[in-house]
Structure 1
Amino acid sequence: MSYDAKFRVWRGDATAGELRDFTVAVNEGEVVLDIIHRLQATQASDLAVRWNCKAGKCGSCSAEINGRPRLLCMTRMSTFTETETITVTPLRAFPVIRDLVTDVSFNYQKAREIPSFAPPKDLAPGEYRMQQVDVQRSQEFRKCIECFLCQDTCHVVRDHEENKESFAGPRFLMRIAELDMHPLDSLDRKRQAQDEHGLGFCNITKCCSDVCPEHIKITDNALIPMKERVADTRYDPLVWLGNKIRRRS
């Protein structure tokens, strides 16, 4: 069963742009990325869009559909009515390069700022010994496909460009939490999260978890536990007193 759908697609570059109207044929079982490809093939051959796997595993085709951050390849046309106008725009939190393609280099910059896994210096590689129970809490975070939808929807950077310098965003605060949960990591990840990567900016609205295509509970399982551990080590009066006593001795 086929029908003609109404689309509004953002066209432009870093200097200027606008939403343009298109009518595109839709076939049963298709996703939004299929329609964007048909639009390229039939009406707008110069339309720029990122994509790779078309299976929801590479994170390349991130965009905003009707204002909501989504993967184009995982958004089925059957979720919309045949009379609905579907608006497709680039990720709002990042600079536009052209059409639906944005410059997400901010995220790679933040990734480079996080020190990698650091085992104890006296522990040789062959001496690593862990049980599944040691890593099962953080294993969920390894499902991340780095689509950066959580980064895009986080209002700390989405609505406040000036925060980007001091705020890593939910994807990379989750990475710090993952390392902090690792039984063999030796760095002070709690201090890094709070002082260097802006954990305090997060007010746990759960918007990052809401758009995650891998259904990772970023807020509940990574950010809130990290905030709790920071509070325990930095603001608990008994811990503060114990640190004072140890420093004197």
Structure 2
Amino acid sequence: MSTYDARFRVWRGDAEGGGLEDFTVEVNDGEVVLDIVHRLQATQAPDLAVRWNCKAGKCGSCSAEINGRPRLLCMTRMSVFDRGETVTITPLRAFPVVRDLVTDVSFNYAKAREIPAFVPPAGLEPGAYRMRQVDVERSQEFRKCIECFLCQDTCHVVRDHEENKEAFAGPRFLMRVAELDMHPLDAAAERGLDRRATAQDEHGLGYCNITKCCTEVCPESIAITDNALIPLKERAVDRTYDPLVWLGNRIRRRGERDAES
């Protein structure tokens, strides 16, 4: 096993401010950045704060930015960097710093609570759901999300415009709306909930300009833009601007009013 000394710059500080500190840390073959952070804690900076849990790329806890790119510390191998370059680790830029590499991601949990849950069809008991495999596969991809929030961090609507956060759910939660909207058993419309309308009017779908930056940083390789956001935009536009859809909705609503009277 070969070892070498690598140069690291790690952001240290808290909500009041901070800056980058330089370290030289031993690296062994096969290690990931999280291994180096742990060695740094053990040998030079015992008070360095970093959030992590599974070290297997499945919990999403160790999100940070490495050389300016949102990544999971546990899934970024040291072998992707030249031995002579300095590796810079900073906290997620889109969220408030708690301390060092730990950020306050509660924004995301607040947005999650704003998404209405799956609405089962009336009279259909849990365990009795039946769907075609092709319909299962459409939304199954989105269930791989580990909620690392790297897509939220890299989305420039959130990252560069703090004022947008109140009106914009971000790619992770627009993906959740898309998943529910394409679910063949979701009966939200029967309960008066138009998911496409809420995506546009309440969750800020119109802010997304499909740059695909969210897809590029997803550690689960979910095609967030192509398979969730673009189809959701198309369905939202059809609902509002397609003349045939508009006419069909008018006829349906008129029929419902006549039936009630």
The TM tier, using the shorter chain, reads over 0.9
Asked whether the 8 Å contact 1:8–1:20 carries over to 2, the reply is yes
**Aligned-residue offset at 1:186:** 1.4
For residues 43-62 of structure 1, what are the structure 2 equivalents within 5 Å? Answer: 43-62=44-63
- TM-score, scaled relative to structure 2: 0.93
Name the structure 2 match of 1:205. 211
Name the structure 2 match of 1:21. 22
Asked whether the 8 Å contact 1:24–1:39 carries over to 2, the reply is yes
Asked whether the 8 Å contact 1:10–1:89 carries over to 2, the reply is yes
- The residue type equivalent to 1:99 in the other structure is D
Instruction: Please list every run of 5 or more consecutive structure 2 residues that lacks an aligned counterpart in the other structure.
Output: 189-193, 256-261
Distance 1:227 1:160 in 2: 21
- Identical pairs, percent: 82
Aligned pair in 2 of structure 1 residues 50, 126: CA closer, same or farther (>3 Å)?
A: closer
- The residue type equivalent to 1:233 in the other structure is R
Name the structure 1 match of 2:150. 149
**Aligned-residue offset at 1:126:** 5.0
- The residue type equivalent to 2:233 in the other structure is K
Distance 1:124 1:46 in 2: 51
**Aligned-residue offset at 1:134:** 2.1
Name the structure 2 match of 1:79. 80
Name the structure 2 match of 1:223. 229
Q: Deviation per CA, 1:21-69: give whole Å up to 9, x if none.
A: 0011111111100100000000000000001111111100000000000
For residues 97-246 of structure 1, what are the structure 2 equivalents within 5 Å? Answer: 97-125=98-126, 127-187=128-188, 188-246=194-252
Distance 1:18 1:54 in 2: 26
Instruction: Please list every run of 5 or more consecutive structure 1 residues that lacks an aligned counterpart in the other structure.
Output: none
- The residue type equivalent to 1:5 in the other structure is A
Secondary structure in 2 matching 1:88: strand
> Which 4+ stretches in 1 moved above 6 angstroms?
none
Secondary structure in 2 matching 1:6: strand
- TM-score, scaled relative to structure 1: 0.97
Distance 2:249 2:176 in 1: 27
Distance 1:248 1:80 in 2: 64
Paired residues, what number? 249
Secondary structure in 2 matching 1:78: helix
Aligned pair in 2 of structure 1 residues 126, 209: CA closer, same or farther (>3 Å)?
A: closer
